[in-house]
Amino acid sequence: MSNQAAVIESTVRDPLILGKKDYHQITEDICRPVEGKANKYWWIAFIIAFTTMIWGILCLAYTIGNGIGSWGLNKTVGWAWDITNFVWWIGIGHAGTLISAILLLFRQRWRMSINRSAEAMTIFAVICAGLFPVFHTGRPWLDYWMLPLPNQFGSLWVNFNSPLLWDVFAISTYFSVSLVFWYLGLIPDLATIRDRCVTPTRKFIYGLLAFGWKGTARDWLRFEEVSLVLAGLSTPLVLSVHTIVSFDFATSIVPGWHTTIFPPYFVAGAIFSGFAMVLTLMIIARKVLSLEQYITIQHIELMNKIIILTGSIVGVAYLTEFFMAWYSGVQYESYAFMNRAFGPYWWAYWSMMTCNVITPQLFWVKKIRTSVLATFIISIFVNIGMWFERFVIIVTSIHRDYLPSSWTMYSPTFIEVGIFVGTIGLFFTCFLVFARVFPVIALNELKTILKKTGNQYKKKGTY
Amino acid sequence: MSKTYWKGVEELRNDAEFVRLKNNEFPEHLPLDEVLGEKAADITTTPRRDFLKFLGFSVAAASLAACEAPVRKTIPYLVKPEQVTPGVADWYASTYFDGYDYSSILVKTREGRPIKIEGNVLSGVTKGGVNARVQASVLSLYDSARLKNPVADGGPSTWANVDGAIKSKLDELAAKKGNIRILSSTIISPSTRSIIKEFASKYPTTKHITYDAVSCSAMLQANKESFGVEAIPSYNFDKANVIVAFDCDFLVNWISPIEHSRLYAETRKLNNGKKEMSRHIQFESALSLTGSNADKRIGIKPSMQGAAIANLYNAVAKLAGVSTVNAASVGENQKDIEATAKELWENKGKSVVVCGINHVAIQNLVNGMNSLLGNYGTTVDLDNPCMLRQGNDAELASLMDEMNKGEVAALFIYNSNPVYTLSNSFAEALKKVSLSVSFSDRADETASQCKFICPDHHQLESWGDAEPKKDQYSLTQPTIAPLFSTRQFQESLLVWSGNAITNYHDYLKSYWKEFFFKNAPLSIATEDHWNKLLQSGVFGGALMPAKNYQSSANLNTSADAVSKMSGSGIEMVVYEKTGIGNGLQANNPWLQELPDPVSKVTWDNYLAVSPKDAREKGWLQGNVVQVKANGNTVKVPVFIQPGQMPGTVSLAIGYGRTKTGKVADNVGVNAYVFASMIGGNLSYSASGVEISKTTDEDHVLATTQSHHTMMGRAIVKETTLEEYIRKPNAGNEEELFAVRVGKEEVKKTAKEVNLWDDHAEGNHHWGMSIDLNSCIGCGSCVVACTAENNVAVVGKAEVIRSREMHWMRIDRYFSSDADPKEGEKGDIKKMENPSDMPKVVFQPVMCQHCAHAPCETVCPVIATSHSSEGMNQMIYNRCVGTRYCANNCPYKVRRFNWFKYSDNAKFDFNMNDDLGKMVLNPDVVVRSRGVMEKCSLCVQRIQEVKLNAKRDGRTVKDGEVKTACSQSCPTQAITFGDYKVKDSELNKMWKPEERSYHLLEELDVQPNVFYQTKVRNVEEEKHS
């Protein structure tokens, strides 16, 4: 920065965007993936993701055709991979809204490079998550009975006591608010693309999608107001969705589920896993789409700091659970936790502990948290660890509960694994398509943080 | 005068228009004529608005019609049979005896189909008891493997052809004086015996040989030697204070188990303040169900049983002051034997020694012991002998001899499958018989090698009579017209012997009329009398007074014979399983899926080995080993069975069928090959067994319970008799919890603390009591529940995945050496391991119908809800199948329909063919795929009784409703009733300050089912 002495910029903070971009360059950089042809890597990734998704669809079709018996569940373990995957995906879906809403309210401007993809990720993750509760039921064609619809079955109504019903409300609300928020942010960028379109078809489609955005001051005023309102609406949702998901377990009487610590613990875990997934995706995206100057090491480091924080909260929660199990003096509770750590699923527990508690602590070292490769590896570890966390909570608690006569073991079938892998395929297929049709970075918003002054342009004489 | 009010100003004015309309019911013009009238068809114009209505309606109608489920028509009777009222069950008294199990039964028929078997309480022998096998036999009626017509030379034939061929052959043989032999299992039917006698008088070379696959012929022989009576006594366990059994599974398999278990339970119940119970000591090597119920169980190898009995005889003889006999040393068991002798002697005349070993000398010693103890006339009754085992092994041996020599010209095999039970030696001999006829209902191992198969009716299609005990009779009547072209064995014999009466029903009636005439008290031999007998099903004179008998056998000779018995190496016991028994009903999927009460294994037999041997030899569960004994070799999986005596192994008979039907063929291995003829009697043990590990892939055994200890949890509460006498709530002390009421901390019991509102209550509050002290774990209730509630059979592969559908299960726990004292925490890893010689407890568990049910709150669609009568109800139609309720059920009694279990080729059991479906109870829906199900407390039975009471204008009587499980329990451990009836049996059981407790009561889910602590009459604690 020493060679830019003439520019008045903050000397305390590093710039959020590197490479001395000007406004036009930003537009060019970010529109390129949308307007140009897809490269080889995109196609390879797309074909793999798409094939995996098709595989998942086939496994799902088999399940619907034959019954939930094609999974590895049994009389004692009624939920396993299905709900594990559901909670995992919902957790992943937490980062998007957190970044766009809470960070917006806190005026964390660095969010602008990542919020678009993070929000898209949220939408896709919630879609993946939603598949599981929908298709884990024995008769999915009757799932609409779980909605409080007026009906002619008499006075049949849903059970408002059931946490599963709360889930239905929580997730559908979360999904719709996230979708609106994401799409709202897209509107100015879609207009930019519309304005640059060269073929009439594209112009027509993007024109429709841009809702007639003109970029006037009035447009921007309303845009920002609505953004604030939606941010205000979404903020409690970030906390509520996983709280309610945790109620599925916390309100039950299963030792290991019946825990009041679950809501904060689940929210922290969700943010933890959401940021890990954002990192995984962003690190790939910045490489593939050449966005290194927009998603910088600084972004990665900031996210890593959030990971240390939430990872530590999760770690403390794990230990607290153990303490409470011992302190409660309840035989079943203590056994449930001893069984987690030393029972037949000890490997799942210790995988969780290693991935979630130990690896994120490496980020205390600056060299590690500013290393792209190390971050990528650790983010993968966290993703795995968080999957195991849910598996540990669900399966190790119910496989040995009150009466030892009913204790069983659980192992998945390839159908269940296929469905899970299929949702990963679906997620990446959606994300890859998203990266080709929508700008992955909020380009118009990003321009607001580019410079403090317009001196650069003056000098060039462009205006 | 009341005021007049006008409807409106028009009425006041009395307009002409108003007057016209007032007389019209519908004041406005209704376009009925246009729509319904003749003109309607003429209207060709469709206005624009109507067009859209019509379009919408027709599209909706067409699509709705397409959605509709396929219609299955029910056709009403054109002429209703007199006795059949659709929807109302008919009950018929009958008798079940298959040569193995006996019970006087009541058969429930619906629309002409028998669907359930229950016990006949009028019977003086079984007293309303049934067991799993008898109840499951209703499904065997609808077995698709049954022959549909007679078979000649392997191909289908007709009765006329078969009769012609057999008769001419018989006449030809009779002319040549060829030997004719009838081989059957025990026949307790007097009329059948008479028919055989008549057949023998027509063909004088005929001889009837009785052979029981599980034989008690040594007992018959020993009783003849000891007392000059060739009979098996009746055992009055109810009069015994001390019961000592040697290798004798008298509660579920031995001779007359249904009778035994009921009498035994009477000595174990501690209701109504009773403070005494019997003491049961079992000497055995394999852990039998009877042994699991014993107060004291002593492991003895089969070869040492004789010595143990001789030593016990000597110990008793010493106390009696009579001379002793030779006895080999039994080592450290001597102490137990002497203690046992002391207890026996202290209860002279109130004790019983029983022994299941088919060995004459041993039985002689047992007889000697019982007569020294003065048990004859009290606990052992030789004057009203039991007729259920008449097999004579010596006669069988001589038959085999004759057959091998080619001296048997014709062999008729009735209710016996010797090719299976006696293996190849019989098959070889059978080839030398020129006329072989089987009466088997299927082309089984023996029948398929016979020239003719003349399939017999199923029990439920038959007429008959039975004499289970001397002068105690029970009648059999058909409950359905024969399903196939089958004919009763008796009728076949009548036809072939050229009897004047060829209809067995007529024969039976005339036989009994004659009998009544002969017996003065029964001499009103009218048709009416006969019908009354059929209605009650049973009759019999008063029991003979039981006399005391003194053994006159030479016990020294017996003792010498016993002392010569020796065993080497590993010894094997061949035993019967509670479900499959002797293997006759192996093709019954209900029995195959019934978990063995002790091992909890379904669909298999296995080599039970002791944990110690397994550790030493490196055998693991499911390892396939090669077992060699008596010159026979089989490959069989290992099952590590706590309680198995080290150095012994055991293997169950009844499996390894090859030609009995799709359900049982090639399930397990045939253990009959290890039964051998020793000293003229079939011996069900072998010594010098060589066991070697094979390289075969491990065999997965389908168990319904893979965890065997209670982990120090108070699940089955138990105490000792002495503790119980001192303090009735011993072992069931209520735990007090600290609760804050306002600012004060008080101690309360779990039941007194309540965060929830109680449900509104109706006229009834149903509940159930389960006495863990009289439950013997036999599984009768499990089969009853399966039959009553159309519970699906899922097959071995699904049981391996822990997906059995039983609404009712019997949890079996073993004690662990590491079991901590109450309240202390133990080493959880060690607590998982049962002791090598554990104590065993059984606990039937079904839906506990919690008042504060955890399942009810979590269901998003209210598919499970609480009834005003205290029951937790499952609404199948509403269930979407989230399984949340099952996860949240602390008792894990909810069962999910993982697949479609009916009409599905993957589950090719009774619900997959129209014949098998005839057994379904029309009062209970068959659940579809994807819904949860569970025990309903037989709500359909409650409803029936309530409706009957309503029709009669009365209240429901206490005890009028019986659930399938409580009805079928041979020990009456389950009591069903109404809490709202003050002096109901249920309320009498519910004494929380005594033995009653709720399972997992600390969860405060407030179950309506409660248990009563198990009390053991244990010696150790007695003296400490």
Give SS3 for B30: coil
Q: Would you say residue B605 lies in a domain?
A: yes
The distance of B1011 to chain A (nearest Cα, Å) reads 15
Determine the residue of chain A that is closest to B703 in CA distance: A408
CB contact under 8 A, A339 and B828: yes
Residues of B in contact with A139 (CB under 8 A): 879-881, 928-931
Do both B362 and B503 map to the same domain?
no
Q: Would you say residue A9 lies in a domain?
A: no
What is the rounded average pLDDT of the residues B921-930? 91
HEC string of chain A equals CHHHCCCCCCCCCCCCCCCCCCHHHHHHHHHHHHHCCCCHHHHHHHHHHHHHHHHHHHHHHHHHHHCHHHCCCCCCCCCCHHHHHHHHHHHHCHHHHHHHHHHHHCCCHHHHHCHHHHHHHHHHHHHHHHHHHHHCCCCHHHHHHHCCCCCCCCCCCCCCCCHHHHHHHHHHHHHHHHHHHHHHHHHHHHHHHHHHCCCHHHHHHHHHHCCCCCCCHHHHHHHHHHHHHHHHHHHHHHHHHHHHHHHHHHCCCCCCCCCCCHHHHHHHHHHHHHHHHHHHHHHHHHHHCCCCCCCCHHHHHHHHHHHHHHHHHHHHHHHHHHHHHHHHCCHHHHHHHHHHHHCCCHHHHHHHHHHHHHHHHHHHCHHHHCCHHHHHHHHHHHHHHHHHHHHHHHHHHHCCCCCHHHCCCCCCCHHHHHHHHHHHHHHHHHHHHHHHHCCCCCHHHHHHHCCCCCHHHHHHCCC
CB contact under 8 A, A404 and B711: yes
A2, pLDDT greater than 60: no
Between CA A42 and CA A48 the distance in angstroms is: 10
Do both B841 and B945 map to the same domain?
yes
Look up the ipTM and state it.
Answer: 0.89
pLDDT tens sequence across B450-479: 889 999 999 899 999 898 888 888 889 999
Determine the residue of chain B that is closest to A160 in CA distance: B860
Residues of A in contact with B890 (CB under 8 A): 253-254, 401-403
Do both B124 and B170 map to the same domain?
no
Of the ranges A44-53, A333-342, A418-427, which one carries the lowest mean pLDDT score?
A333-342
pLDDT tens sequence across B992-1012: 778 888 998 888 888 999 999
End-to-end CA distance of chain A: 24
Q: Mean of the per-residue pLDDT values for chain A?
A: 85
Do both B942 and B999 map to the same domain?
yes
CB contact under 8 A, B880 and A139: yes
CATH number at residue A369: 1.20.1630.10
Closest by Cβ to A159, choosing from B861, B892, B898: B861
Q: Would you say residue B682 lies in a domain?
A: yes
Please tell me the predicted confidence (pLDDT) of residue B63.
Answer: 65
The distance of A335 to chain B (nearest Cα, Å) reads 8
The distance of B857 to chain A (nearest Cα, Å) reads 6
**Domain limits for position A399:** 21-451
CB contact under 8 A, A158 and B861: yes
Please tell me the predicted confidence (pLDDT) of residue B2.
Answer: 66
Q: Would you say residue A25 lies in a domain?
A: yes
Quickly state the pLDDT bin for B1021 (edges 50, 70, 90): very low
Residues of B in contact with A138 (CB under 8 A): 879-883, 896-897, 929-932
Q: Would you say residue A114 lies in a domain?
A: yes
**Domain limits for position B663:** 567-703
Q: Would you say residue B2 lies in a domain?
A: no
Q: Would you say residue A219 lies in a domain?
A: yes
Q: Would you say residue A159 lies in a domain?
A: yes
Within an 8 Å CB–CB cutoff, is residue B1004 touching chain A? no
Do both B132 and B259 map to the same domain?
no
Residues of B in contact with A76 (CB under 8 A): 802, 892
pTM of the predicted model, to two decimals?
A: 0.86
Residue pair B203/B493 in contact (Cβ under 8 Å)? The answer is no
Residue pair B479/B463 in contact (Cβ under 8 Å)? The answer is no
What is the rounded average pLDDT of the residues B523-538? 76
Please tell me the predicted confidence (pLDDT) of residue B794.
Answer: 92
Which runs of consecutive H residues, i.e. helices, occur in B464-604?
Answer: 489-496, 504-518, 527-536, 555-563, 589-593
Count the Cβ atoms, other than its own, within 10 Å of residue B451: 20
Please tell me the predicted confidence (pLDDT) of residue B1024.
Answer: 37
Q: Which of A165, A326, A406, A408 to mutate to test the interface with B (most CBs of B within 10 A)?
A: A406
Q: Which of A151, A403, A413 to mutate to test the interface with B (most CBs of B within 10 A)?
A: A403
CB contact under 8 A, A78 and B887: yes
Within an 8 Å CB–CB cutoff, is residue B759 touching chain A? no
Residues of B in contact with A163 (CB under 8 A): 858
Do both B461 and B585 map to the same domain?
no
Q: Which of A79, A405, A408 to mutate to test the interface with B (most CBs of B within 10 A)?
A: A405
The distance of A73 to chain B (nearest Cα, Å) reads 8
Within an 8 Å CB–CB cutoff, is residue B803 touching chain A? yes
Residues of B in contact with A328 (CB under 8 A): none
Residues of A in contact with B830 (CB under 8 A): none
Determine the residue of chain A that is closest to B711 in CA distance: A404
Quickly state the pLDDT bin for B394 (edges 50, 70, 90): confident
Q: Would you say residue A174 lies in a domain?
A: yes
Of the ranges B35-44, B80-89, B551-560, which one carries the lowest mean pLDDT score?
B35-44
The distance of B880 to chain A (nearest Cα, Å) reads 5
Closest by Cβ to B828, choosing from A145, A251, A335: A335
Within an 8 Å CB–CB cutoff, is residue B518 touching chain A? no
B402, pLDDT greater than 70: yes
Question: Within the 885-904 window of chain B, which residues sit less than 8 Å (CB to CB) from chain A?
Answer: 886-888, 890-892, 894-900
A4, pLDDT greater than 50: no
Residues of B in contact with A164 (CB under 8 A): 858-860, 882, 884
Question: Within the 715-754 window of chain B, which residues sit less than 8 Å (CB to CB) from chain A?
Answer: 715
> How many interchain CB pairs under 8 A, A with B?
168
How many domains does chain B contain in total?
6
Contacts of B67 (CB under 8 A, 6+ apart): none
Do both B781 and B885 map to the same domain?
yes
The distance of B897 to chain A (nearest Cα, Å) reads 8
CB contact under 8 A, B706 and A407: yes
Please tell me the predicted confidence (pLDDT) of residue B599.
Answer: 92
Closest by Cβ to A78, choosing from B886, B897, B899: B886
The distance of A182 to chain B (nearest Cα, Å) reads 31
Q: Would you say residue A14 lies in a domain?
A: no
Q: Which of B883, B902, B904, B999 to mutate to test the interface with A (most CBs of A within 10 A)?
A: B883
What is the rounded average pLDDT of the residues A428-453? 80
Quickly state the pLDDT bin for B518 (edges 50, 70, 90): low
Closest by Cβ to A162, choosing from B709, B859, B894: B859
Q: Would you say residue A463 lies in a domain?
A: no
Do both B403 and B377 map to the same domain?
no
CB contact under 8 A, A138 and B931: yes
The distance of B270 to chain A (nearest Cα, Å) reads 26
Do both B726 and B610 map to the same domain?
no
CB contact under 8 A, A78 and B896: yes
Do both B173 and B227 map to the same domain?
no
Q: Which of B858, B999, B1005 to mutate to test the interface with A (most CBs of A within 10 A)?
A: B858
CATH number at residue B734: 3.30.70.20
CB contact under 8 A, B878 and A145: yes
pLDDT tens sequence across B594-652: 999 999 999 988 999 999 999 998 888 889 999 998 888 999 999 999 999 998 999 99
Do both B851 and B745 map to the same domain?
yes
CB contact under 8 A, A137 and B888: no
pLDDT tens sequence across B484-507: 889 999 888 888 888 888 888 888
Q: How far is CA B390 from CA A182, B214, B219, B236, B400, in A?
A: 87, 11, 10, 20, 18
Domain final position from B492, B524, B556:
B524
Closest by Cβ to B858, choosing from A136, A164, A409: A164
pLDDT tens sequence across A230-269: 888 888 888 888 899 899 999 999 998 998 899 998 888 8
Please tell me the predicted confidence (pLDDT) of residue A455.
Answer: 56
The distance of B70 to chain A (nearest Cα, Å) reads 18
Of the ranges A152-156, B28-32, B531-535, B983-987, which one carries the lowest mean pLDDT score?
B28-32
Domain final position from B363, B386, B409:
B386
Do both B496 and B634 map to the same domain?
no
Residues of A in contact with B931 (CB under 8 A): 138-139
Q: Mean of the per-residue pLDDT values for chain B?
A: 86
B58, pLDDT greater than 80: no
Within an 8 Å CB–CB cutoff, is residue B947 touching chain A? no
Closest by Cβ to B860, choosing from A72, A146, A407: A146
Q: Would you say residue B21 lies in a domain?
A: yes
How many domains does chain A contain in total?
1
pLDDT tens sequence across B98-110: 888 999 999 999 8
pLDDT tens sequence across B772-817: 989 999 999 999 999 999 999 999 999 999 999 999 999 999 988 8
